[in-house]
Structures are given as C-alpha cells and as structure tokens.
Structure 1
Amino acid sequence: MITGEIKNKVDKIWETFWTGGITNPLTVIEQFTYLLFIKSLDEAETIKEKEAEVLGIPFEGIFPEDKQHLRWHRFKQLGSPEEMYRVVSDEVFPFIKNLHGKDNSAYSKYMGDAMFLIPTANMLAKIVDGIDNLPLDDRDVQGDLYEYLLSKLLTSGTNGQFRTPRHIIQMMVELMKPTPEDIIIDPAMGTAGFLVAASDYLRKHHNDMFLVQGLKEHYHNTMFYGNDMDRTMLRIGAMNMMLHGVDNPNIDYRDSLSEINKDKEKYTLVLANPPFKGSLDYESVSNDLLKIAKTKKTELLFLSLFMRILKPGGRAAVIVPDGVLFGSSKAHKTIRKEIIDNHKLEAIISMPSGVFKPYAGVSTAIMIFTKTGAGGTDNVWFYDMKADGFSLDDKRTPIEENDIPDIIERFNNLEAEKERKRTEQSFFVPVEEIQENDYDLSINKYKEIEYEEVEYEDPLLILEKIEKYEHEIVKGIKELKDSLKGL
C-alpha cells in the first residue's frame, strides 16, 4: 500500500486538477495517467540506455535523435511554463498517441481517441512538478498509486459502479490461484481490477515464469483479455494493466452478450462482477446464450456466456446478486440446473449487503464452478461471510472482524470441512438435497440456527417478587411523604 506521504502528494495533484476546472474524476484520472505514462516511458528508456552502455551494444530507443526533447526529463526543464505547454500539447502528446503506429495493440486502441485537456500552462507546470516527485521507479508502488487513483471513483457518486472493492477481488483471485498457463478473461472489465489482481498474483507466486520465454510471452500477450462498452473504462483499464507490467493486454470495445462476441471455449479462467441491473432486448443478445435460458436479465445471460466461453475444465469465480441463487422464474431455475447438473458447482460464498456500499446495498454472493459438460457436482460448499474487514455502512471504515482469511484457508482445505455442522459458518450440502429443493442455492435454505433453551422462573414466583417490590415502593413513598411533612 502507498504511504500517507505519497497519498498527500497525489491528493495535492488531484486538487490542482480540481481547482483548474477539471472536476470529472474519470477525466482527472485519464489526464493524470497520460502524464504518468509519459514519465514512465522516459524512465524505461533511460534504464535501457544504461544497460546498453554497460553491455557495449548499440541502442535504438523509442525516442529518435530528433525527438529527444520530448522526453520527460528534458521538457520539464524548459525555461517557461508556456514553452513546456507548447511542447507537451503540440509534440509530446501526438508523439505518444502514434507510438505504436497503426498496429492493433492495446496501447494503440487505448491512445487512439485520447485527448489532452489540461487548459493552462501554469496548471500543467504544477502537475508535472507534482508527478516528478512521485516514486514511479518501483512497479509495485506504481501499481498501488494507480489503484489509489481509481479508488477515488468509489467516492465520486455514480462512477463508483465501475469498481469492485479491491479486497474482494484479491480474495477471489486467491481462491482461484491463477497458473502461468491460464487464459484469463473479464467480459465486463471496468477498470480491469480482476485482471490486474491476477497478474500481480502470478508475479508474486510464479515469478520464475518470466525465465521461460514461452510463458513470459504468454503473460504479456495472450494471457489477459477484457471487454467493456465504455471507451473511457477501456483506456483506464488498459493503462492500469500496462502500469502493472503487462505489455500488451487484449482489451476490446465489445458488448460481450451480443452476436458480435463469437468467443467459444477459448478461456481457462473467468473472473468477473458483471452488471446486475439491466434488461436487454432479445434481438440484441447472441442466440447461443438464449438457448440455455430465454431471459432479458443481464446477470443470467452473463452466466450463460461464461459457460460458453470457458474451455472444458475451465473455472469461473463470479459475483452474482442473491436473486440468481433463489429466483423462482423459469430462467433462474434453468441456469442453476445447467450449472449444477451439467457442470461442477463448487462453492457459494454469501456476502453481506454492505460490501458494495456506499453506491449499492444489494446482497451478493460469489459463485465458483468448473465447466465440465458432463456434470460432477457432488457436495457444494457454502460460506456465510459476515464481515470483510470494513464496516457495512456507507463509511466503510476498517474494522477488526474479517472472514476473508478464514474463507481462503477453508476453501484451500475443503477435506476438513466435511464434518462441519449446518449451524456453523461454512458447511457442505449434497447435490441431491439441492436438487430436491428446486435447485435453490440460498444459504438460508440449508443453514440451521441453533436455539438455546432459556429457562424462566415459575410465574407464581415472579408474581411474588413483583408484590414484594411493590410493597417496598409503597413503603418508600410513605416514608418520603412523612419526611416532607416534617419540613
């Protein structure tokens, strides 16, 4: 996590944007990001120059001889803010926009319709000076800094809908344990939080993969996929991936539920928090998805999509609204039946309704399943999450109570869960029982509440005590009256 000192520096830069008239948090993050990236380009170029010099080999960087003045360390030293503004707006920005030419990389898609919106020279000078004091040489700090920027969306009203809380994302990634061979997708990616967390997990737990050329190439070019229908989210998400060390993520503008999306049995891991609220016209939805269950509800259509795009043996950890678990419509039951009977449903983790506050109070659950095409569901693991380390009100302040470490530990040792009782926080339910209950997956259907027997005194004894107390009260009032008469 970034320190208070760095947060203060970032907040000061944010305030410069705000007081300068750029108040939309998405726009602030975009403009902030462009400048972070320009600085990162220069720093990466400097490192490669020094390495080439030490090795005594020729170096051909991304800045040609006649473009050296476009590098961060050069233009920041220009004599006047006006001169720096001219160079950045008229030369640096067009240069980085066309850096990858006409190729189809995430970078070129990301920068294709980017716009430089900082209005004045003095404002740019202040922002450049602020960013220059940020420690961007450490990839982890750089990633955390970007996460802190994105967290400001959460406190900015409606834009908060784009973010799943980071600790929930990390928990889901820890549960799924991505491998160096995985092909990972989030079909409703927003700011690419799931993909970033998966990439960080692999760097932490499988760092040796970068010593194997094939796995290294896979990580940078063919491992991570993300779709979204908001171009601003695509730009922010792609840059989020690049700032976290993935060179060429496959970030696409796409309606994942439409006929345009032809993906089938392509991925090995789905990590997603797809949109809950929303209905689509049948005409705009891919016919393949309607074959499983004819519905207009996006949360059900996305489940159909996950089953289609996963390879056999592929896994999914996805957030669903509680209604998916117990909804009584034909479409709801059909989707649950499909996952349970034809694939392998492994776990339902029920989350408290405050997890997505302050911008949503919906109750949700994490559904974990494996695509098999041949069934395999035997016992489904249920967990009743009561606390996630934060208060469940709009303030979401840190608290000690946190079930997440327990969830991860228990999921990684399910054998030990078999003897757990239904009165405990986690337990198994046999698939036959779920089938008998109309494929209902709500934890309350199976959880047993242990009632403690309370023994009360005999009513006659209680009445005797009341009479005794009443007598004492009357006696006390009489004594008080007598003492008042004597005054």
Structure 2
Amino acid sequence: MVKAKMANTQFVKKIQDIMRNDPGINGDAQRIEQLSWILFLKVYDDREVVWNLERDNYISIIPTGLHWREWARDEKDGQNLTGDELLNFVNNELLPGLKRIVITPETPISHAIVKDAFIDANNYMKNGILLRQVVNVVDQIDFTDPKDRHFFNDIYEGILKGLQSAGNSGEFYTPRALTDFIAERLQPKLSEKTADLACGTGGFLTSTLNILSQQVKTVNDRKKYNQAVFGIEKKGQPYILAVTNLLLHDVDNPDIIHGNSLEKQVTEYSENEKFDVIMMNPPFGGSELPIIKQNFPTDLQSSETADLFLALIMYRLKENGRVGIILPDGFLFGNDGSKLNIKKRLLHEFNLHTIIRLPGSIFSPYTSIATNILFFDQTKTTKETWFYRLDMPDGYKHFSKTRPMKLAHFDPVRKWWNDRQEIKEGDNFKAKAYTVKELEDNNYNFDLCGFPTENEEILPPFELMERYIEERAELNDQIDTTLDALKKLLEGDN
C-alpha cells in the first residue's frame, strides 16, 4: 500500500524525476502520455481482481502474459523484467498485443476499452532500468484499497496540471472548480443520462459521479450509477485518463467512445441517442475537415469547432433536458451566419435562461481567452436571459497554476442564483435580465454585463503576442457584425 508520504505531488515528482533521466522522454506531453497508459494497466489489473471475486467464470480480454501482475509486479526474487529485456517485452509484445485485441459487437464495454486505450499508445522510454523504476513506483499503489484509490484523485490533479502546461494538451484540461460548479447547477440524477461530447480527461463526468454517488442507496441504484454517464473523446491520451478515472469511480463499464462526436449527420440521431444532461467545454478555435461541416444543416455550418458542438447539442438533447457549456467571448458578440442562426435557435427553440461571464485567466497559462457559461434547457422557448458577471475574487489579479480558481470563488453567483436581482455598479450592470426582443434589437449581440475596461497589463512578449492575436480575431468579428448591420440598412434603403 502507498504510504501517506507518497500522495499527490511526491508521487508525480518521483515519476517525473525518473523520466527526466530517460533520453526518450521529451517534455511533459510525452511524460504524461507514458504515465497514462502505465497507470491504466495497473488500475485495470486491480479492477480485474475485484471482478474475479464478484463474477462467476470471469474471463479477461487481456492475453495471457500481458496482465500487469504477470510482468510488472516485482516479487523481489530477482526474476522481474528490467533493462533491455523489459524494453523488448513492452515494445514488441505488450503494446502490439494489446492493440491486436479483437473486439466484436458482443464485447462488454469493460473489455472493449482496453483495445481503445492502446490504439494510440506509445512507449517513449529508451532506458529499461528507468522504465522498471517507474513501473515499481506505480505498482506500490493498490487501487483495490480505498485509501490508495483516494490518492489517485490527487495524482490525477497533478497530471492535469502537467497537461495544462504541455502545449496543445492543455485543451483537455478544465479547472475542477468549473466542472463542479456546472454539475452542481444542473443537478444530475441517477435516473438520467449525462453526457460530455468532447470529454477530454473526464472532468465533467467525474464531477457528475461525485454528485450521483450520494444518491446511491440500493443495488438498483448502483446499476443506474454504472450507466449514468457517457463521453466521447477524439484523442488517445485524454481518453485513457478519462477511462481510468471512471474505473476508479466504481464505473465498471465506462461508456466512453474513442472517436469524434462531429462525424455523424446530426439529423440522424434517434431518441435513444439523446441525453437528459449535457455538460461541455468544447475546443475553442479548433478546426475540422471541411467534410465535417456537411454533417450539419447549411444554416449551422461553422468554421469554429465550439459552434459545431453547440449545434450538435441541440440535436442530442432530450425534451426537458438541460445544458451547461463553456464558450469563448467570440460567440457572444459574433454575428456571422452560423453564429446568428445558432443564437436564434437558442432563443426560439430552447430556454437560454442564464449566461455567466467568467473572470479572465481561468485557463491560464494555456490560453487567456475570455470565457462564459451558457445554461439552457429544452423545457420551453426563452422569455428572458439573465447575465451575471462573476468578478475576480478579492486578493487575485489573475489565476495561475499555483493559484487556480476554486469552487468557493463561485459563492457570489451561488447566492444570486435562486434570488435573482438586477445589480448595477456605476455605469455598468453586473447582473441584468434581457428579454428576447431586447436581444433581437441588439442584433443578437450577447456581449452584455461584461467587465469594465482595465488598464493594460505589462506582459511577457510571447503572451502579449498571443493576446494581440486573440484580440485581433475578436475585433474582426465585431467589424463583420457592424458591416453586416450597415449592409442590411443600405439594402433597406433601396
């Protein structure tokens, strides 16, 4: 069993120190990818110990000789694989063998995830002795022991903080305060199905499970819990982390698909493919192949990935279903054809009841893009939309890896949520409701109750360049909006 002293940062740091000496590991992204599949195998092996006890005639999908307990465990008898022998086994037997696993339509989800987890997995380590040291550290954790399983939450957060600064991998990280707050507002229930259609490492799914676990009282409740969440993730490394995290939240059949949510015609979804609750932080500014746009009606086809996911949600939400989605400022004031049409649908086919303007730097250092949470449901059409500006907490100039946003920082909006009042500070509104007509008269510009203009910060050159690029993109959107309005006025005069 892992001792208390090896929790969280010490575990991650120990792995990091070992891998830094390996010539094959180049930076945080490769280190985290390497650790992800190693952790998955250990967690899965420990879950199989439980399944063997609980299920009659349990048969593992992992081929003989490739189970963690068969090659990774150090029995202190001098017979464990290490050095070149271990490298040869991992590169030529373990990873190829797991990738060759055959999946059929009858294969249980708990088995199918093994092949999916290893489709894109790689061994970057070139020193077999160092690889043995990493394996030994991971093997000390007993994921069948509640105390050690608790440590994984801390280890997981350590991995996510590494992802946050690992280049493009930061796109998979959503601060836990955000996922917990959105889940708290939407209040998922055991009888419902909750989804994240670009789930990354599974933050929204585990925030949901933390709420649902408190509702489990009976054996039937446990079955509902095991089927309560659904995710799709396109990239391999966050997929492995998401599946591992769900296994450690007692979900024996993690219903997470390794694929792209946008690859199917949205009009073809059946009622069985819709969800009661959807929570998402879709990729901002991403790009998809041109053929992906053709999966959407012409009026909703966008070059912005986040817009496509918002349109997708409209086709995958059940009647009376509810949504919490994080979107950049560009969506609020953007007025190109698809954004305008999406906004019209939100107001006239859904109930867009709340928009929370979030303080800056929440996703720092990955991006400084300003973000918002849109809450809507399919209970009725919109009568009014409340805007609430959540200010930076006292004592903070900005968030960072060492001072991230905390759930307690949402206390002001929690207090306001059930007793909504208009709030005005000086010449600016901090909270205000706008009718659909007012939003229409404002040319569907949702950039309301925003932050007062602040004095310019002195930033490092590269961060300054990044901010200028983002501001230029936002300014271009605003110019397009103005030109479009002028064009309509001129057309009306003719």
Q: TM-score, normalised by structure 1?
A: 0.76
Answering whether residue 48 of structure 2 is matched by residue 16 of structure 1, we say no
3-state SS in 2 of match to 1:360: coil
Answering whether residue 367 of structure 2 is matched by residue 364 of structure 1, we say no
- Candidates 280, 296, 311, aligned match of 2:318: 311
Task: Tell me the residue number matched to 1:129.
Answer: 136
Task: Tell me the residue number matched to 2:222.
Answer: 216
Task: Tell me the residue number matched to 1:140.
Answer: 150
Say whether the 8 Å CA contact 2:293–2:301 is kept in structure 1: no
Task: Tell me the residue number matched to 1:244.
Answer: 249
Task: Tell me the residue number matched to 1:190.
Answer: 200
Q: Which has the higher contact order (CA 8 A, sep 6+)?
A: 2
Alignment deviations for residues 18-39 of structure 1 (CA, whole Å, 9 cap, x no partner)? 2113234343333323333444
Task: Tell me the residue number matched to 1:71.
Answer: 69
Tell which deviates more after alignment, 237-246 or 183-192: 237-246
- Candidates 260, 278, 284, aligned match of 2:292: 284
Kindly provide the amino acid, as one letter, of the partner of residue 255 in structure 2: N
Structure with greater Cα Rg: 1
Alignment deviations for residues 368-391 of structure 1 (CA, whole Å, 9 cap, x no partner)? 00024x51x223222111126865
Q: Distance in 2 between matches of 1:281 and 1:242?
A: 33
Distance 1:368 1:361, change over 3 A: same
- Candidates 335, 339, 344, aligned match of 1:328: 335
Say whether the 8 Å CA contact 2:387–2:433 is kept in structure 1: yes
Alignment deviations for residues 294-319 of structure 1 (CA, whole Å, 9 cap, x no partner)? 43332222221111111111111001
Task: Tell me the residue number matched to 1:352.
Answer: 359
How many equivalent residue pairs? 430
Answering whether residue 177 of structure 2 is matched by residue 207 of structure 1, we say no
- Candidates 345, 349, 355, aligned match of 1:342: 349
Alignment deviations for residues 42-91 of structure 1 (CA, whole Å, 9 cap, x no partner)? 54455677x68xxxx98767599x86996279831153376356576377
Distance 1:96 1:399, change over 3 A: closer
3-state SS in 2 of match to 1:353: coil
Answering whether residue 406 of structure 2 is matched by residue 403 of structure 1, we say no
Question: 1:212 offset after TM fit, Å?
Answer: 3.6
Tell which deviates more after alignment, 33-42 or 9-18: 33-42
Aligned-residue identity in percent:
25
Q: Distance in 1 between matches of 2:241 and 2:68?
A: 23
- Candidates 181, 184, 188, aligned match of 2:191: 181
Alignment deviations for residues 401-438 of structure 1 (CA, whole Å, 9 cap, x no partner)? 96312223432x2xx21x43344643433334333323
Answering whether residue 32 of structure 2 is matched by residue 29 of structure 1, we say yes
Task: Tell me the residue number matched to 2:279.
Answer: 271
Q: Distance in 2 between matches of 1:380 and 1:347?
A: 5
Question: Which structure 1 segments of 5+ residues have no match?
Answer: 450-487
3-state SS in 2 of match to 1:196: helix
Tell which deviates more after alignment, 297-306 or 130-139: 130-139
Kindly provide the amino acid, as one letter, of the partner of residue 275 in structure 1: P
3-state SS in 2 of match to 1:249: coil
Say whether the 8 Å CA contact 2:358–2:391 is kept in structure 1: yes
- Candidates 226, 230, 236, aligned match of 1:231: 236
Task: Tell me the residue number matched to 2:457.
Answer: none
3-state SS in 2 of match to 1:311: strand
3-state SS in 2 of match to 1:429: strand
Q: TM-score, normalised by structure 2?
A: 0.75
3-state SS in 2 of match to 1:324: helix
Paired residues for 1:415-434 under 5 Å: 416-417=419-420, 419-423=421-425, 425-434=430-439
Kindly provide the amino acid, as one letter, of the partner of residue 403 in structure 2: T
Answering whether residue 163 of structure 2 is matched by residue 158 of structure 1, we say no
Question: 1:125 offset after TM fit, Å?
Answer: 2.8
Q: Distance in 1 between matches of 2:101 and 2:263?
A: 32
3-state SS in 2 of match to 1:386: coil
Say whether the 8 Å CA contact 1:186–1:271 is kept in structure 2: yes
Distance 1:71 1:150, change over 3 A: same
Q: Indicate the RMSD between aligned Cα atoms, in angstroms.
A: 3.7
Q: Distance in 1 between matches of 2:278 and 2:360?
A: 23
Question: 1:332 offset after TM fit, Å?
Answer: 2.4
Say whether the 8 Å CA contact 2:262–2:295 is kept in structure 1: no
Kindly provide the amino acid, as one letter, of the partner of residue 135 in structure 2: V
Say whether the 8 Å CA contact 1:39–1:72 is kept in structure 2: no
3-state SS in 1 of match to 2:262: coil
Kindly provide the amino acid, as one letter, of the partner of residue 109 in structure 1: D
Distance 1:78 1:318, change over 3 A: same
Q: Distance in 2 between matches of 1:442 and 1:223?
A: 35
Say whether the 8 Å CA contact 1:354–1:393 is kept in structure 2: yes
Kindly provide the amino acid, as one letter, of the partner of residue 25 in structure 1: D
Question: 1:156 offset after TM fit, Å?
Answer: 2.2
Q: Distance in 2 between matches of 1:129 and 1:430?
A: 61
Kindly provide the amino acid, as one letter, of the partner of residue 203 in structure 2: G
3-state SS in 2 of match to 1:296: coil
3-state SS in 2 of match to 1:358: coil
Q: Distance in 2 between matches of 1:121 and 1:426?
A: 59
Say whether the 8 Å CA contact 1:391–1:398 is kept in structure 2: no
Kindly provide the amino acid, as one letter, of the partner of residue 150 in structure 2: D
Q: Distance in 2 between matches of 1:236 and 1:366?
A: 25
